[in-house]
Structure formats: structure tokens, C-alpha cells
């Protein structure tokens, strides 16, 4: 017995079929990642606002200090000019002298008085610094004083008679403060940069997590697993809302898929029977018909069978068309009252002919945003059923009323009704209750009514009429409908 395992067998599957996962995992260009874009926008907004904050802080603090110094210098210079005007050069020299003496070694004042020839008269500077060549202009530069070299802000004021007065302030302390502030702001900027990047990364990963959840779910669904749903965070935030909307959509898709499956099953079962019958009739006729008369009868019957099949077919297509919701585009504002009067008149004659009474009550006005033709057909279907199942001499109640925001159209008969157990399934396509098997019909009537009600955001209820069936179509009035649809848009 050969037990050697086929070790050298290649694994063709892995080698040949390109796995879709690979394609998905291929990193997409950074700029095309929405997560990166969001994070980038976040970082830019954060950085710009941080910079604006630092700049305004800097400007207001440093600017204020500078203006204070300049004011002090200006006031000092004005006072000295006053002295000059009052007592001429001697008084001015005295004043400067006093200021220089009064000042302690840490004094901030810097003075220099020059005669018209530019020679120093008095002051704690030896000469005018070379850079300072314009009068009435602010300068900030290091100068050497008896206290050593200091950073000074200064300005030259020309005096009447050609003399020049330089007044300045030692601003070392202010410069230090400015440096501290600058360093602090730089640090803060650095921290903010780090925070901004961290925030961006956080946002991106959050974004990706949410997207990944939606993506994995929808991908699973597109592969055919219709049971998957997007998990909600429970925060009630926008993403929850999105998850809810997507889940609603999936719910609807699943329902439609179910419908399709159900329909194809039903078609297989319920159309085969009449087709078989028609086929059998034709074959039987072609084999056994003895006379032309026989043949004609068989063909006519088969044609009638085919017409029945066509009817079922058209009803199915119509229901599908209604359920697809495309007819909503043709909705118009209508008053159901005259329409229902017409139907009542149409069916009243039939009821009377069959010895039945139609007890009708129709409200004066029944405004609805909807499809006239479909409502007509839905009501006609209910009346068709009631007439079909009513016992002799019974009454059928046909009521249409407006109940604040709901239009209720009910048709109640005294027939066999639908058993409690069957009621839920009665609106399924091709469903026929046991008691109805012997009557004609396709089992599509109530399915169409339910579809029409649903298209108008309404419902079809089937209740017991003790005995009989009470079918009630509830439709929200036009006003309510528009509110609902508006809410859905939001």
C-alpha cells in the first residue's frame, strides 16, 4: 500500500488565483487616504490657531513693554526741553546732572547733551553711538555707560539753538523678560506641534476604525452574507446614525432578496400547475380529439388557461414594480373620496346582482399624496375578495374615514375569514388559505394590497369580523406623508 504523501504537490490555488485581499491591502497613496486628509486638516487648523495665540500673546506683551519705555523716554525728554526753554543750557545741564546723580548705579536713565558742534557737554555716554545719526528716531543698541555695557533704547531730540539731547533707557530687564517669553512660547509651540500630530494620528485611527467596521460589514454582504450588520457604538452620534441608515438599507435589501427568493419559489410551484394543465389539454386534444369541435373546445380552454397564467404574471410584475418604489415619483395630491364613490358605484351593482348588500360610508374628503390607480386597484381587490367569499344575503361593510392623520379604508365581509394562524401569511404572494383553495384566484390580491399600502407608508391589517374578514388599509394623509419623507431626508 502506497502511503507516501504527495509531498511535492504544488498548491495551485494559492499560486494562481490572485487573492482580492492583496489588492485591498496595497497601501493607497497617502493623499488619497481620507483619514490622512482629515488628520492633515486637523493639524493645520490646530497649528494655525496655536500660532495665532502665541503671536497675539507676544505682540501684546512685548509691544506693551516697548511702548511703555518709549513713553517714559518721551516724557523725560519733554520735561528736559521744558527746563531748557525756562533756563537755557545751564538749567538743562543742572537737570541732567541731578538725574545722573539721583540715579543709583542701577538707574536706567541714559543721557547725553551735545553742543551744536557735536561735543559732549554732559551725560553718561562718552559719545553719540555711530549708528545714531537721525534725530527723532528710535534706536535700540548696546552702549557703554559707567555701569558697563547695557542694551538701551534711545532717541535724539534736537534743541533750539542747535544743541542735541539724547535720552535713553536701559532695557536689559525688558529684554530678559522678552527672552523668557520667547522661550516659553517656543516650548509651547513645540508641545502644541506634538499634540497636533498626536491628535491627527488619533483622528486618523478613529476614522479608520469606523470605516473599517463599515467596510468589513458591507464587504461581507457584497460577498453574499446578508445577515451581517454594522455594530453601533451606542453614543447616538453621527456614526451611529450612519450605521443605522446603512443597517436600515441592508434590512430592506434582505427583505427584497427574500421576496425575490419567495417569488421564484412560488413561480416554480404555482405557475407550473396552470401551465401543466394548459399543456395537458393541448396534448390531449392533439392525440385524442375526434372532431373539429373537440379540438376547438380544447384550444379555447387552453387559451383561457394561458390567459390565467398571463394574469398571474402581470400581477406579479405589478407587485414587483410597486415594491421597487419607483411609482412614488408619480405621486400626486388626490382626494380619495370621489374615487371611492366611483368604486362603490361600480361594485354596488354587482353586490345587488348577487343578493348582497353593500353598506357604504365614505367621508367627505380624503386627501392623500399617492397613486390614484394603485389605490383604486387595492380597494377593488378587497371588494373582489369580499364579494367572492360572502355567503348569500350577507352584508359587506365598506367604510372610508379620515382619522386626524390617517385615512382608514376597511372592507368587512361575513365569509369564512382567515384563521388567526394564516393571517400573517395572507399577504404573501401565492398564499391561499385552506378554505379558499376551492375558489378561483391566484393568491396575489392581498399581496398587491399590502404592497400598495406600504408604498404609501401605510399598512394593511387583517382582523376578525366575527365571523368573516375585516381588511383595513391605513394610509397616512398627505400632510403626514410629507413630514415623514422630510424627516427621512434629514
Partner 1 sequence: MRILVVEDDKDVAGFVVKGLREAGHTVEHADNGRDGLFLAASENFDAIILDRMLPGGIDGLRLLETLRAQDNATPVVFLSALGQVDDRVKGLKAGGDDYLTKPFAFAELLARVEALTRRGKSDGPTTRLLVGDLEMDLLSRGVKRGGQKIDLQPREFRLLEYLMRHAGQVVTRTMLLEGVWDYHFDPQTNVIDVHVSRLRQKIDKPFELPLLHTVRNAGYMLRSEEV
Q: Name the residues that contact partner 1, by CB under 8 A.
A: 300, 306-307, 310-311, 314, 317, 321, 326-327, 330, 342, 345-347, 349-350, 353, 373, 376-377, 380-381, 383-384, 387-388, 440-441, 445
Q: How far is the CB of 307 from partner 1 (least distance, A)?
A: 8
Rounded Cα distance, 77 and 156, in Å = 9
Output 190 or 355, the one with its CB closest to partner 1: 355
Q: How far is the CB of 27 from partner 1 (least distance, A)?
A: 46
Q: How far is the CB of 267 from partner 1 (least distance, A)?
A: 17
Q: What is the DSSP secondary-structure string of 354-369?
A: TT-EEEEEE-S--EEE
Output 178 or 388, the one with its CB closest to partner 1: 388
Number of helices (H), then strands (E), belonging to the chain: the values are 12, 12
The grid cell for 79 is: 520735561
Q: How far is the CB of 308 from partner 1 (least distance, A)?
A: 11
Q: How far is the CB of 449 from partner 1 (least distance, A)?
A: 13
Q: How far is the CB of 286 from partner 1 (least distance, A)?
A: 18
Laid out side by side, the sheet with 148-158 consists of 120-123, 109-114, 164-170, 148-158, 139-145
Output 171 or 362, the one with its CB closest to partner 1: 362
Output 222 or 440, the one with its CB closest to partner 1: 440
Output 327 or 456, the one with its CB closest to partner 1: 327
Rounded Cα distance, 415 and 396, in Å = 9
Q: How far is the CB of 465 from partner 1 (least distance, A)?
A: 20
Output 211 or 260, the one with its CB closest to partner 1: 260
The grid cell for 469 is: 374578514
Cβ partners under 8 Å of residue 375, min gap 6: 334, 336, 339, 368, 452, 456
307-316: list long-range contacts, CB under 8 Å, 24+ apart.
308/274, 308/442, 309/271, 309/274, 309/275, 309/278, 311/442, 312/270, 312/271, 312/274, 312/442, 312/444, 313/271, 315/442, 315/444, 315/448, 316/263, 316/267, 316/429, 316/444
Integer-rounded Cα Rg, in Å, for the chain is 48
Tracing cell 404555482 back to the chain, one arrives at 270
Output 307 or 424, the one with its CB closest to partner 1: 307
Q: What is the DSSP secondary-structure string of 96-163?
A: HHHHHHHS-TT--EEEEEE-TTS-EEEESSSS--TT--STT--EEEEEEETTEEEEEEEEEEEPTTS-
Q: How far is the CB of 353 from partner 1 (least distance, A)?
A: 5
Output 111 or 389, the one with its CB closest to partner 1: 389
Strand stretches in 339-489, DSSP E = 357-362, 367-370, 395-403, 406-412, 459-464, 469-476
Q: How far is the CB of 380 from partner 1 (least distance, A)?
A: 5
Output 56 or 303, the one with its CB closest to partner 1: 303
Q: How far is the CB of 409 from partner 1 (least distance, A)?
A: 16
Rounded Cα distance, 69 and 51, in Å = 27
Rounded Cα distance, 377 and 401, in Å = 18
**Dihedral (CA of 212, 215, 217, 219) sign:** negative
Rounded Cα distance, 415 and 385, in Å = 10
Residue of 373, 316, 305, 303 whose CA lies nearest to 343: 373
Length of the chain (residues): 490
Output 289 or 306, the one with its CB closest to partner 1: 306
Output 35 or 445, the one with its CB closest to partner 1: 445
Q: How far is the CB of 418 from partner 1 (least distance, A)?
A: 17
Output 225 or 345, the one with its CB closest to partner 1: 345
Angle at 344 between CA 338 and CA 349, to 5 degrees: 140
User: How far from 80 is each of 25, 91, 242, CA to CA, in Å?
Assistant: 80, 9, 76
Q: How far is the CB of 392 from partner 1 (least distance, A)?
A: 16
Amino acid at each position: 500500500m502506497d502511503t507516501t504523501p504527495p509531498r511535492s504537490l504544488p498548491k495551485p490555488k494559492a499560486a494562481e488565483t490572485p487573492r482580492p485581499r492583496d489588492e485591498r491591502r496595497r497601501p493607497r497613496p497617502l493623499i488619497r487616504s481620507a483619514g490622512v486628509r482629515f488628520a492633515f486638516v486637523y493639524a493645520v487648523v490646530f497649528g494655525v490657531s496655536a500660532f495665532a495665540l502665541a503671536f497675539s500673546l507676544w505682540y501684546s506683551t512685548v509691544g506693551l513693554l516697548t511702548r511703555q519705555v518709549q513713553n517714559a523716554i518721551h516724557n523725560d525728554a519733554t520735561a528736559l526741553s521744558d527746563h531748557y526753554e525756562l533756563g537755557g543750557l545751564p538749567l538743562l545741564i543742572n537737570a541732567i546732572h541731578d538725574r545722573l546723580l539721583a540715579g543709583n548705579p542701577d538707574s536706567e536713565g541714559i543721557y547725553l547733551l551735545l553742543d551744536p558742534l557735536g561735543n559732549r557737554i554732559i551725560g553718561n555716554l562718552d559719545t553719540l553711538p555711530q549708528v545714531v545719526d537721525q534725530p527723532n528716531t528710535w534706536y535700540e543698541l548696546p552702549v557703554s555707560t559707567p555701569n558697563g555695557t547695557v542694551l538701551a533704547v534711545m532717541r535724539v531730540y534736537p534743541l533750539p539753538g542747535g544743541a542735541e539731547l539724547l535720552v535713553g533707557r536701559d532695557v536689559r530687564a525688558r529684554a530678559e523678560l522678552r527672552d523668557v517669553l520667547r522661550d516659553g512660547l517656543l516650548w509651547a509651540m513645540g508641545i502644541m506641534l506634538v499634540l497636533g500630530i498626536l491628535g491627527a494620528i488619533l483622528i486618523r485611527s478613529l476614522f479608520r476604525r469606523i470605516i473599517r467596521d463599515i467596510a468589513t460589514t458591507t464587504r461581507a454582504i457584497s460577498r453574499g452574507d446578508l445577515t451581517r450588520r454594522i455594530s453601533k457604538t451606542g453614543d447616538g452620534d453621527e456614526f451611529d446614525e450612519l450605521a443605522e441608515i446603512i443597517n436600515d438599507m441592508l434590512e430592506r435589501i434582505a427583505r427584497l432578496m427574500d421576496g425575490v427568493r419567495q417569488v421564484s419559489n412560488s413561480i416554480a410551484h404555482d405557475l407550473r400547475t396552470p401551465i401543466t394543465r394548459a399543456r395537458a389539454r393541448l396534448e390531449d386534444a392533439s392525440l385524442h380529439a375526434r372532431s373539429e369541435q373537440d379540438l376547438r373546445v380544447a384550444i379555447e380552454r387552453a387559451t383561457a388557461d394561458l390567459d390565467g397564467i398571463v394574469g398571474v404574471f402581470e400581477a406579479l410584475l405589478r407587485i414587483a414594480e410597486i415594491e421597487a418604489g419607483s411609482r412614488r415619483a408619480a405621486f400626486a395630491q388626490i382626494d380619495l373620496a370621489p374615487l371611492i364613490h366611483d368604486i362603490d358605484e361600480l361594485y354596488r351593482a354587482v353586490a345587488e346582482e348577487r343578493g348582497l348588500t353593500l353598506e357604504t360610508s365614505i367621508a367627505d374628503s380624503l386627501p392623500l399624496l399617492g397613486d390614484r390607480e394603485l389605490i383604486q386597484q387595492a380597494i377593488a381587490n378587497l371588494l373582489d375578495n369580499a364579494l367572492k367569499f360572502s355567503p348569500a344575503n350577507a352584508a359587506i361593510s365598506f367604510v372610508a374615514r379620515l382619522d386626524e392623520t390617517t385615512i382608514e379604508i376597511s372592507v368587512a365581509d361575513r365569509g369564512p375569514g382567515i384563521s388567526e394562524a394564516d393571517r400573517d401569511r395572507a399577504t404573501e404572494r401565492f398564499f391561499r388559505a385552506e378554505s379558499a383553495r376551492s375558489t378561483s384566484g391566484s393568491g396575489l390580491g392581498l399581496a398587491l394590497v399590502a404592497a400598495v399600502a406600504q408604498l404609501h407608508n401605510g399598512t394593511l391589517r387583517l382582523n376578525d369580523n366575527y365571523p368573516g374578514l375585516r381588511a383595513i388599509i391605513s394610509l397616512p394623509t398627505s400632510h403626514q406623508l410629507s413630514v415623514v419623507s422630510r424627516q427621512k431626508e434629514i
